[in-house]
Structure 1
Amino acid sequence: MTKHEFFVDMTCEGCSGAVTRVLNKLGGVQFDIDLPNKKVFIESDHSVDLLLETLKKTGKNASYIGTK
């Protein structure tokens, strides 16, 4: 599985909770959330486009940084 790094404009625990909910619904992913640095690290075989689309469902600004 590839590990991807994303920027997500999270400001609080509620934001990271929203990210957790959408990623758990997607399934087949392992992830770590770095709230202070507004980063989400996702290990998955899903496409980057699908992962980014899923993160944007939180209503937060999200962008792809690259692979880790």
Structure 2
Amino acid sequence: MSAKHYKFDVTMACSGCSNAVNRVLTRLPGVKNVEISLEKQTVDVISDLDYDTVLQAISKTGKKVNGGTIVSA
């Protein structure tokens, strides 16, 4: 199975918020890379996991996910 690239629009107020999202995602088995931009309020994830699994992991941090797209599958 090849890795997929997802981009999420996530409301994050501070570096603590982005660190919480990063911590949850990097602990997920199957996640290859995570790039978070606090300035742009985006979370880019390269993962073997499906979209919903990654979305649920971000949502569990309590941050508001305003949307997401599958950049490449």
TM-score (norm 2): 0.84
Residue 17 of structure 1: CA displacement?
0.7
Q: CA deviation at 1:66?
A: 3.1
Corresponding residue SS for 2:63: coil
Provide the residue aligned with 1:9 in structure 2.
11
Q: Is the 8 A contact 2:51 2:70 kept in 1?
A: no
Residues paired across the two proteins, number: 68
Letter in 2 for 1:5: K
- State, as a whole percentage, how many aligned pairs show the same letter: 38
After TM superposition, where is structure 1 displaced by more than 6 Å over at least 4 residues in a row? none
In structure 1, the residue matched to 2:24 is 22
- Root mean square deviation, CA, Å: 1.2
**TM-score, normalising length: structure 1:** 0.90
Q: Based on CA coordinates, which of the two structures has the bigger radius of gyration?
A: 2
Alpha-carbon shift at residue 53 of structure 1 (Å): 0.3
Aligned counterparts of 1:28 and 1:45: Cα–Cα separation in 2: 5
Matched residue, 2:70: 66
For 1:40, the equivalent position in structure 2 comes to: 43
Give the unaligned 5+ runs of structure 1: none
Aligned-residue offset at 1:12: 0.6
Choose between structure 1 and 2: higher strand proportion: 2
